[in-house]
Amino acid sequence: MRGGDAARRDVLRMASSALYNAEKKQGTPLTDDEALAVLTREVKTRRESVEAFRGAGREDLASKEEAEIAILREYLPEALTEPEIAALVDEGIAATGASSARDLGKVMGWLAPRTRGRADGKVVSGMVAAALAKADLAAHDDGTH
């Protein structure tokens, strides 16, 4: 606050308020994982807002939301890279014995605690679906094509 960065101050106040509200709703102090989930949800909300604002041609508001995301990201664990996510997806498929698209939920359940706050769930889900589809194709390909 003393630095005079109004945007940063406002984002941190919002984050503090979101954490406080989650704690009140739950009735007990938040664990680190629960606090991480709250901050991750705030980032996700802003990402959705960016898409909506861009779709409506409001680049000024989209830029403001992106600046807020950047501030929140400073308080989240470092994001996973695409190769790191791919390695976790492969590990999750192997660990759960998944073999088809029907096993998506099982793999996502295994991956969720390992990627929470570090990767976008939509991206992870898409990568799992693609990997399972490829595995499913390989299993059903009888070589006559």
Question: Strands, E, within the chain: which ranges?
Answer: none
Quick one: pLDDT at residue 144?
47
Quick one: pLDDT at residue 120?
81
Angle at 53 between CA 50 and CA 57, to 5 degrees: 135
Rounded alpha-carbon distances, angstroms, from residue 102 to 31, 53, 85 = 32, 35, 20
Instruction: Give φ, ψ of 92 to 5 degrees.
Output: -65, -40
Q: What is the pTM of this model?
A: 0.68
Quick one: pLDDT at residue 141?
61
Query: DSSP letter string over 119-137?
Result: S-HHHHHHHHHHHHHHHHH
What pLDDT tens digit does each residue of the chain (145 aa) get? 677 788 899 999 999 999 999 999 999 999 888 888 899 899 889 999 999 999 999 999 999 999 999 999 888 888 888 999 999 999 998 998 888 888 889 999 999 888 877 888 888 999 999 988 887 776 666 554 4
CA 5 from centre of chain: 27
Give the chain's domains with CATH numbers. Answer: 6-73 (1.10.1510.10), 82-140 (1.10.10.410)
